[in-house]
Chain A
């Protein structure tokens, strides 16, 4: 199965959810539940197609762009609508499609809303487009596409028990990230004007040739700032906790599982390979912020009272590992970043599903009001929460561990971080203890303890079915990391200067 077949796959993957969203938007007669089922079906087809795409890509080799499809769009800007899939993007596309199915499935029971499904599908389409875009500007357009639907999700369906809070959180989310991406746009334009092309594959091949070190540094700073807001990197992260806290379960899952991935994907796909010299200057700072974020967010979690906010803050810590992996500029670190990216997507999505289910029952996400004694009151939800927490603290054998290990390993042997590489690695590793501390605190307050009377129903079969794929994925990735690591092992060399040789 070599050659050029299946070029229709990627355009269909991108356009199918978007078209589905458009149709659902335009047909107001559908009942909300039916709309959610249609969304699930579209998500399912997307997932199947992305599995097919992943298979084809694997078959032809993850090391280079497969399934390329391109057509002119705005030739005056050199913008081509060109898509492709390789080992870096394939897992992310799969994750996005999976989460699309699960969120839509979730919506078939929990407060279905036709327009919410529209938003979910738009986010899905936009994210897949971002992950497959092979043109810088197209990447940017796709990157921005997810903003507005997400803004709607937070602002309209957010937890509105306090007047004006959803609107505030949504506005903060969208304004913060839009400001960041506007800055990133400057960097992207700079790259395009200086190199004369916006073709990512071409730019990666050049690897910064023809760009002076200064230009690269400026562009890297601009692009990294934009992506760091989205990731989010300490200290640009303060939009995330309110957004997660207010967003409905669907929104939180998408935010954690899809949106945050865009930022780190951008770092790996754009910043590192296209601006190697610039990133070499930026990397120590990036690493420093990443490590600070790990510790900072962990400490903040230790005293956080709101469970959703806590999960959000823990995302900041997790993304700190991803950023550290990127900043290390080593194959191992990059692999770790990509692994941690996927792992965080799976685990935090699971956690948000669980927390959402708890919140639905107790109408609060405050730790004191949710607990204690979950293990006796709602055993199934309790165990799911425990599983999520244990995965979140990076237990070896579960998905998150590999990302953290590789990120730390990358940082340890990184020459790009200079003298600070080993201190960074050690601090990051110490961050895993803090992670354990706050997760155990959550379990201690929530899961353990003497249950109080006033029982809520345990997880329904529907909820369990929604969460099970994520549990299985967490275990699967944790125990058998080979395939995912294999997918990225070859391609990260192509993304690093000099094939990523570690001196």
Chain B
């Protein structure tokens, strides 16, 4: 049995990489990959944690009297997460597709005009458009 610390460190590294991916990339698809890494870090954490005896860290010292959940929560949670991640990616890709159709690119920097502090911000874009035409 490996020490619990190993998976935890790995999970941290994965989470860090995921966060970095989300923050550093401007390409929507690459950002999504970062997100996947983040979710899998969580998965790793869950599965690693479920190797502990019933009661988790809190019960480590107490040998007896712990109630075990028959549903093996860590693992089942991981399966839920995988499902969620799949759904997430499904929605995300649909949006990315929409983005690509609208702007011809999947760079996030291409769509900033809604941000109030962005250079391309206009208060009432539709009116502005109508006036421009």
A–B contact, 8 Å CB criterion (strictly below): no
